[in-house]
Structure 1
């Protein structure tokens, strides 16, 4: 889920060692088309934080490499950002890390007549995302390989956890920013 296309995957292959050297994780890569293509890279430090300086450091490190290897045909703009508070969930570890928080999942196939599910994450086990769905008695197990897209849902609980992780008082007006 970190990538969607072969071009995204080629950029991920180049970006992973650069990010790892900076103690960062690549969360997602997307190349967006337009007059000038945009290469969007979401990343975070291994402690779950990512500030503007960290984004700039990764961007500078990747810029030279992308210019040198030229995996993108034509002109492009590089955009490096944090995943944000309502972040995408792209790796198995993300589902375990964000256990207890509400998430939306979109599958690549129909399951019981639907592709979209929303509920409280209950972890990750045996290659499956565990999620407690509304009006269901048992925790659903959705194979990770079936998930096309997943992200956290912005809730008061998520905002409180984010503020606490950043050391902000829980009554703070500072309700957006980097993830814990």
Structure 2
């Protein structure tokens, strides 16, 4: 059996906590920056999270992490909002983002490009439709979801 990833364990521990706090678990990251390890948990809710939401989730999650102890080395736990450029990971994230300005990065080029920004017009589990502006024209582009490396909301400039 494959060893379970730290992020999967943390997600499993965090889900009941965020549900009880009426917030959404957006993402979990575990990464090394310089000589330090960071465990980042991103939460959100429709009206946005505040410092009290982050604090409550952090305290409860910290207790669970101390009990389960899935991380052998020292790390910093950070619980925060994903910010204005929230990642799109789950199908529900894409559906919620329909009509919003998004940034899409691909694993391989499509029409000679690997990144696109535009309005997300439609989404299903196999393809998304993006409305992009090219100079004075507006075009619609279909992107197969298996080609998407990363997607996020984007602040329109």
> Normalised by the shorter chain, which TM-score bucket?
0.7 to 0.9
Tell me the residue number matched to 1:131: 130
Change (3 A) 1:28 1:126: closer
Displacement after TM superposition at 1:21 (Å): 2.1
CA RMSD of aligned residues (A): 2.3
Change (3 A) 1:67 1:101: same
User: Structure 1 or 2: larger strand share?
Assistant: 2
Tell me the residue number matched to 1:152: 153
- Render the CA deviation track for 1:40-86: whole Å, top value 9, x for unaligned: 111113x3421110011111110011111112220011000011122
Change (3 A) 1:91 1:62: same
Change (3 A) 1:14 1:146: farther
Displacement after TM superposition at 1:104 (Å): 0.8
Please list every run of 5 or more consecutive structure 1 residues that lacks an aligned counterpart in the other structure.
157-180
Compute the TM-score of the two structures, normalised by the length of structure 1.
0.73
Moved over 4 A (4+): none
- Render the CA deviation track for 1:138-168: whole Å, top value 9, x for unaligned: 5333233432211222137xxxxxxxxxxxx
Aligned residues: 151
Please list every run of 5 or more consecutive structure 2 residues that lacks an aligned counterpart in the other structure.
none
Compute the TM-score of the two structures, normalised by the length of structure 2.
0.82
Tell me the residue number matched to 1:30: 29
CA distance in 2: counterparts of 1:53 and 1:123, whole angstroms: 35
Q: Does 1:10 align with 2:9?
A: yes
